[in-house]
Amino acid sequence: MKRRQDMGEFDPGRFRGRSRLVVTGLVLMACALTARAVHLQVLDQEFLAQEGDKRYLREAKVPAHRGAVVDRFGEPLAVSSPVDTVWVNPQVLAQSPDEITRLAKALDRDSRWLAQRVTSNLDRQFLYVARHMDPPDAAKVKALGIPGVELMREYKRYYPNGEVTGHVLGFTNLDEAGQEGLELAYDQSLAGIDGLKRVIKDAKGRTVENVESIRAPRPGEDLETSVDLRIQYLAYRELKAAVRRNRALAGSVIVLDVQTGEVLAMVNQPSFNPNDRAQYEVSRYRNRAVTDIIEPGSSIKPFILAAALGSGRYHPETVVDTSPGSVRVGIKTITDKHNLGAVDVNTILARSSNVGMAKIALSLEPEQIHTTLTTLGFGQVTASGFPGESAGLLSNASHWRPIGIATLAYGYGMSVTPLQLAQAYATIGSFGVRRPITFRRVDGPVPGERVIAEPVSRDLLGLLERVVSPSGTGIKATVPGYTVAGKTGTAWKAADGGYSQHRYTSVFAGLVPASRPRLAVVVLIDEPSGALYYGGDVAAPVFASVMSGALRLMGVAPDDLSHVEPATVVQAGP
């Protein structure tokens, strides 16, 4: 018996024990799996469903259509067009190196650049490779069937009038967010609110099903501007020709509606095309008419006279002795081109006498001059809301010395923007009522603040008419059929240690028709380098050309028929 056991004889008892152990183990494992299944499918069902949704359900943005920008008559200035953007899943595309070369060729991109972009972003599932393609071209890329390549619908901003309206409108970035100009100033209302939807995406990040709309997109509001595109084109053409003709560094033209404060036209040279992102340089896209400051030269003289007339000590016929054509103030001698002798205020402004203006200013209280200038808007922004607008420079009267007062009288020692200057002239044109500047269309007269007495404003208009006469410096601003009130200005530009004797800022600012002004205009030619450089020679002709067309386009009735052939008279519109 012992020998049989030593030889490994089969033991039924031991076999049954081992079998029970195995069966017990299997039963326990089955119970554990069953318990786990119950736990997952019953107790944790909601949690697992949420986790599954996270892996397949996604929230996708539905872009809102940006509002259009139009001129006062509904002509489009900025619109958004549907485009397609090509994006890739780097994790998928990297698995097919040959396809990267095909994609690069279809996109007209360097294959090495694209390969580097893809392989350096393998931790991402979304990567832009081409923004804002025309839908037909994007569809050809999609038709290649390259794994991991998808399209996304977006919108691209387009400016139909190019550089003609570039400085006013500004531009947006690739995501259609306003960056400059009116696009930035009114970005919140133009942008609208993007929508949101829930979608199911596959493992490669492709949308396979739209599940539900969470929030519908709300399109942006359209912006109806004050700009008259007809006058804008006219001003653009005349300014560009003048800058080229006078070999000038730059230039600006602003046209305001005197009755409403609306900006009907605003152009600058050099300009830029907002459709071409290669031109997005500050030196090109900044709106010089709003951001740049100049010393206004003689164009400031009407406002010094506003203080003088308002004091009651001066009238248009008041005589001032300018002999011998010069006056010494401190260590500086102020001179006129000619000795005008004893002349009235009319002649002082018409002939732009610096000596006469200095004597008048020195006879006034400094605070009186300062108050007049500040109430006209100098030294502060116009509240137009245009981004980057400058307030100019006007120091406190307590800091003024006699020499500063004398030079201020003919436009040195203070700085203004062309827009500030235009608003101040518009205030004279509205008989002393200052109205806010606006880039939005308004209907009907706009209430304003009286800052100059009406009789003083009417006297100033009469004085400014004399400037645009054969005896004045602004004769080249004459507009056939209309009376014109305006003032020339020519100022040396500041240089290191003083003023340059060869660099000028040339200005003409005016109002038409002078009998009841409708338009206020400022023309600035910066650094003309031709044979002519006075404001009356280089800026006044631009004013005349722009106003000759603008008044007729607006149907403003002529108020001076003395120098007009009957056939050229245009009756006012309804």
Catalytic residues: 298
Pairing of β 127-133 and β 76-88: antiparallel
Q: For 281, list phi and psi in degrees, rounded to 5.
A: -120, 140
CB 488 within 8 A of CB 466: no
Output the six-digit token pair for 351: 């002939």
The SS3 assignment for 494 reads: strand
Q: For 316, list phi and psi in degrees, rounded to 5.
A: -55, -30
Output the DSSP codes for 308-369. Answer: HHHHTS--TT-EEE-TTSEEEETTEEEE-SS---EEEHHHHHHTT-HHHHHHHHHTS-HHHH
The SS3 assignment for 540 reads: helix
CA-based diameter of the chain, in Å?
Answer: 157
Pairing of β 449-450 and β 250-257: unpaired
Q: Which residues pair with 218 in a beta bridge?
A: 193
Output the DSSP codes for 405-457. Answer: HHHHTTT-S-BB-HHHHHHHHHHHHTTTEE---BSB---S----EE-S-HHHH
Pairing of β 223-224 and β 69-70: parallel
398: which DSSP letter? G
How far is Cα of residue 192 from the mean position of the Cα atoms in its chain? 19
Output the six-digit token pair for 271: 């300009």
How far apart, in Å, are the Cα atoms of 229 and each of 164, 226, 232, 292? 9, 9, 5, 24
CB 379 within 8 A of CB 370: no
Distance CA(400)–CA(377), nearest Å, equals 19
Candidates 184, 465, 456; CA nearest to 312 is 456
Amino acid (one-letter) located at 103: L
Output the six-digit token pair for 33: 């799996």
Candidates 297, 252, 248, 293; CA nearest to 492 is 297
CB 490 within 8 A of CB 300: no
Output the six-digit token pair for 475: 């004769």
> In terms of residues, how long is the chain?
574
Distance CA(77)–CA(275), nearest Å, equals 12
Distance CA(506)–CA(504), nearest Å, equals 6
Output the six-digit token pair for 473: 């410096």
How far is Cα of residue 276 from the mean position of the Cα atoms in its chain? 16
